[in-house]
Amino acid sequence: MSLFDDDRPAKKTAHEIGSDLSLLSVDELSARIELLKEEIARLEAERTRKGASRAAAEGLFR
């Protein structure tokens, strides 16, 4: 046996929408919630940025 267990699959850190949650611990659920909150914030920031760009472009054609 080697000193390192490189053959073990890496633990999945991403969340797949609709995946089975029954085998996750409370800590794993909390980690996924944080991951999703960060992703929601990222999506909202991009939406805001694109909305501002769109408004500026529409302002040029008025």
At 43 the three-state DSSP class reads: helix
More confident residue, 11 or 20: 20
Q: Are 41 and 33 in contact (CB under 8 A)?
A: no
- In this prediction the pTM is 0.64
Report d(CA 20, CA 57) in Å as an integer.
Answer: 44
List b or e across 33-48, with b for residues whose CB sees 16 or more CB atoms inside 10 angstroms: eeeeeeeeeeeeeeee
Residues 12-60 have pLDDT tens digits of 668 899 999 999 999 999 999 999 999 999 999 999 999 888 777 778 7
